[in-house]
Structure formats: structure tokens, C-alpha cells
Structure 1
């Protein structure tokens, strides 16, 4: 078991955070943004950055080449659908995409928006870690969390028009 601290300050003890999230054992603040047969999309539970979406495989795999043909098709469709909503609904002009195979979680892709304030930390991949830590340590306040929740609800409404939005 691993103890993981979420951005809301709560801690959870889980074998695999992705298993806990995709199964519903741990519900991310604001709920699930989009869910398909193969993937689960939610606001990152560790870093309070408006529109930072994690797209996670429901199946416990870690590598891109482990995706089935159906999962590959679903992945690219879901990824592009979320990206379009980030641009059109949240006004996010640029996103950095990250995926790593040595993760302790499932195969997942981080869709990290780039906001003007982030350029103070640099313009390359090396700036992302300081940006994430800044968000966790300095932006974990009521005003920012309200913006994060509003973005979650906006994306969820756009991507699931008939879905009831949690905490709204």
C-alpha cells in the first residue's frame, strides 16, 4: 500500500491510484470528466491546475504498445475530444502531453495546459516539474480551487451533455 496525498489535502492508502480512480474507489474532486469502455479522464488529483487532465487506461498496463487495437482507437479519439474541449471551452491555447512507462500507476497521459504564469518557470519540458510544485504549494487556495472546479464542470458538461455534474 502507498499513502498518496491529493491536492485537496486528503490522503489515501492504495496499491495503485489508477485502479482506485478508474474503479470509483477514489473519486476525484469534481468527478469523472469523461469515461469510455477503456479510459477514464479526470482532473489531476495531485496538482490544482485548471484543466490539467489525466487520461488513464482502465486496464492495468503501463506501456503504449500494450494497448489493444480497440484501446488505441479509443485513446486517440478521447485525447483529441478532450483537447478540443480544453481549447473551445477553457480557452487553453497550448498543452504539454506526458506519458511515462516507469509509472506506479496505469498507462496514462497528462494533458498539462500552458498558462502565461508558467513561462516564469521556463518554456521547455524542464519547466513542468517546478510548475506542478508551484501549483501544489502556492495555488492550493479557495480562489484557485473554485476555478479548477468550474473548469471540471465545464469540461464534463461539454463532453457528457446528459450527465449530472457532481457538487454542482
Structure 2
């Protein structure tokens, strides 16, 4: 079991965070953004940044090469659909995508939006960690969380038309 601190400050113990989220055992703040047979999209549970979406496989796998052909097609379709909604609804111009195979839970992709305030940390991948920590530790007021939830609702409406 692993302890994880959520963006709302609560701590949960789970064996696999992605399994807990995709199965419905753990409900992310704001709920599911979008879901298909193979994938589950939700606001990142640890970092309160508007439009920071996690796209997780429902099946417990570690690597992209383990996806079936149907899952690969669905993955690209869903990723593209979410990206378009981020741009159209939230005005997000740039996104960093991350997927790592040495994660403690299963296959998922982070879609980290880049906002103007983030550039004080730089424009490279190295700037992302300080941005995430700032959001978790300093941008977690009720007002901040409400902005994240409002953005999430806008994305959900767009993606589930």
C-alpha cells in the first residue's frame, strides 16, 4: 500500500492509484472528465492546476507497447479530443505530455497545461516539477480549487456532448 496526498490535502492509501481511480474506488475531485471502454480521464488528484488531465488506461499495464491495437487507437483519439477541448474551452495554448514506465501505478499520461505564470520556472521539462509543487503547496485555497473545478466542468461539458 502507498500513501498519496491529494490536492485537497487528504491522504489515501492505495495499492495502485490508477486502478483505484479507473475502477471508481477512489473518486477524483470533480469526477470523471471523460471515459471510454479503455481509458479514464480525470483532473490530476495531486496538483490543482486548471486543465491538468490524467489519461489512464483501465487495464493495469505499465508500458505503451502493451496496449492492444484497439487501445492504441482509442488512446490517440481520446488524447486528441481532450487536447482540442483544452484549447477550445480553456484557451490552453501549450501542453506538456508525460508518461513514464517506472511509475508506482499503471499506464497513464499527464497532460500538463502551460500557463503564463509557469514560465518564471523556465520553458523546459525541468520547470514542470517546481510548477506542480507550487500548485500543490500554494495554489490550494478554496478559490483556487473552485477555479480548477469550474474549468473541469467546462471540459466535461465539451467532451461529453
Question: Structure 1-normalised TM-score?
Answer: 0.95
1:123 aligns with 2:123: yes
RMSD across aligned C-alpha pairs, in angstroms? 0.6
**1:160 offset after TM fit, Å?**
1.0
1:157 aligns with 2:143: no
1:136 aligns with 2:136: yes
2:13 is matched with which residue?
Answer: 13
Q: Which runs of 5+ in 1 are unaligned?
A: 162-168
**1:68 offset after TM fit, Å?**
0.3
Distance in 2 of aligned mates of 1:131 and 1:3: 22
1:60 is matched with which residue?
Answer: 60
Distance in 2 of aligned mates of 1:52 and 1:91: 13
1:165 is matched with which residue?
Answer: none
**1:95 offset after TM fit, Å?**
0.3
SS at match of 2:12: strand
1:107 is matched with which residue?
Answer: 107
SS at match of 2:28: coil
Question: Structure 2-normalised TM-score?
Answer: 0.99
